Amino acid sequence: MVRNSSLSGFPEFLPQERIVELHILDIVRQQFELHGFSSLETRSVESLQDLSGKGETDKEIYLLQRLQNETTEKNLLNNQIGLHFDLTLPLARYVTENFGHLNFPFRRYQIQKVWRGERPQDGRAREFTQADIDIVGEENLSLKYDIELALVIIKTLQTLPIPPITLRINNRKLIEGFYRAIGIENILEVLQIVDKMEKIGSQKVFKLLQEKTNISAKQANFVLQLATIKSAGTEFVEQIEALQISHELIEEGLYELETFVKTTKEAANTKNKTLIVDLSIARGLDYYTGTVYETTMLGHENLGSICSGGRYANLAKTAKKTYPGVGMSIGITRLVSRILNTNLLTATRTVPTVVYIALYEDKQWVTAQKVANFLRNKNISVEVAVKAEKLGKQIRYADKRKIPFVWFINLDGTHEIKDIRTGKQQNVKIETWTPNEEDLKPQILATQQI
């Protein structure tokens, strides 16, 4: 169980918890790179103008102000910079600034902190780490990339030591076409309410639609009929066609979603519930224009989505060109906090150290450093005792940290090693000794069936 942080919304982990987080981050990075995505890191700040361009999210922005800057209230908002609240806006800005130096389609991943000033709650921090993956095209971007992104994310999340995931997809064209065809004008307003389906159920959604929008009961019924369609295969096509509503955007969306599902199922190792078409997925306020994605973790559906995203027809725009993009973002802090809070995973030790070199005499310290460096050159993490204290005390030092091996340099120049888990001690040669593969790094173990 992660302790409460001393500043609400700004979580911090203990070293053994950080080992679990690093393990997750390392796998994510490795998978992204294995799929040919380049690392990118953007500055943490954007201009207020860019940050507030996205409408209602500007409530959550942290502005920066230099302590000694004598700024009046009035010009506080001019030329201001603030911390980014996601990694999509920075990507869009980066592309418009650097398009001449990039190869398109531009495949990048980005693992960074983001900040939102909203009220902290379970799964929602003020400072948190996101792992984003996007493909940005020049003028156009094939639907294949939407499918490829799903494949990358499914592979990545299935490689992590976490419960099975369900990737739920939808297509904005389909919803928008449907809403337009039945005469709904305030599409975003309706979408925001439909987005709450999972949390509050369809009856309450119906009620909210009646209270907060000007659509009729008949329209609201159609909206609900569409939003309750779910299918693991392509059954959704028939179910939607049965509603007998037609619009060219519906055709387009249906084609895209059907192609998506068919192709993904052929290409990926998708078990029963890995990929689901869910017509209630709306992604609220975000301006997606095609595919939208959300991901839940089995048994942790109440956590909300751990990986979301979608397609933007105009992710970035320059005077001459538009840059469409498709991307997804893994909520690392949300995921890792849940893993730690529910004890899903633990690290076998609190330090990277494999070998602790004990000292019989203080003057062995220099020799011990040389032995340590010899082992480090073989990629073995080593720490050297600082003082020739009683051996029992030196062994306890290692034991407390769960360092598996204590090394002794005998006064005759030979070496011995003790596995402090078994107590077994034996003679070794520094040239040939090497630990088992599984002792080389702290192991991350599942503490229950996942």
- For a second copy, which residue of 142, 246, 410, 414 counts as binding (CB under 8 A)? 142
Q: How far is CA 161 from CA 164, 289, 293, 399, in A?
A: 9, 33, 21, 26
Instruction: Please report how close the Cβ of residue 132 comes to a second copy at its closest, in angstroms.
Output: 14
Query: Which residues are bridge partners to 366 per DSSP?
Result: none
CB closer to a second copy, 186 vs 318? 318
Q: Tokens standing for 345?
A: 């995973």
> Under the criterion CB under 8 A, does residue 94 sit at the interface with a second copy?
yes
* Positions 148 through 207 that interact with a second copy (CB under 8 A): 148, 151, 155
Alpha carbon distance, N-terminus to C-terminus of the chain:
18
Q: Tokens standing for 86?
A: 């996601």
Q: Which residue from 179, 192, 125, 138 is spatially nearest to 332, judged by alpha carbons?
A: 125
Asked if residues 341 and 333 have their Cβ atoms less than 8 Å apart, the reply is no
CB closer to a second copy, 149 vs 281? 149
* Positions 50 through 79 that interact with a second copy (CB under 8 A): 52, 58-69, 73
> Under the criterion CB under 8 A, does residue 374 sit at the interface with a second copy?
no
* Stretch touching a second copy by CB under 8 A, among 91-99, 278-286, 289-297, 421-429: 91-99
Distance from C-alpha of 72 to C-alpha of 70, rounded to nearest angstrom: 7
* Stretch touching a second copy by CB under 8 A, among 138-146, 176-184, 295-303, 309-317: 138-146
Q: Tokens standing for 132?
A: 């984003």
Distance from C-alpha of 164 to C-alpha of 250, rounded to nearest angstrom: 31
CB closer to a second copy, 1 vs 411? 1
Instruction: Please report how close the Cβ of residue 11 comes to a second copy at its closest, in angstroms.
Output: 8
* Stretch touching a second copy by CB under 8 A, among 94-102, 179-187, 189-197, 311-319: 94-102
- For a second copy, which residue of 218, 271, 321, 376 counts as binding (CB under 8 A)? 376
Helix axes 15-34, 143-159, angle to 10 degrees: 140
* Positions 242 through 271 that interact with a second copy (CB under 8 A): 263, 266-268
* Stretch touching a second copy by CB under 8 A, among 34-42, 230-238, 284-292, 299-307: 34-42
Q: Tell how strand 355-357 and strand 230-231 pair up.
A: unpaired
Residue 144: HSE in the Cβ half-sphere, 13 Å Cα cutoff: 5
Instruction: Please report how close the Cβ of residue 177 comes to a second copy at its closest, in angstroms.
Output: 25
SS3 of residue 377 by DSSP: coil
Instruction: Please report how close the Cβ of residue 298 comes to a second copy at its closest, in angstroms.
Output: 23
CB closer to a second copy, 151 vs 395? 151
Phi, psi (deg, nearest 5) at residue 312: -115, 125
Instruction: Please report how close the Cβ of residue 117 comes to a second copy at its closest, in angstroms.
Output: 4
* Positions 378 through 397 that interact with a second copy (CB under 8 A): 379-384, 386-387
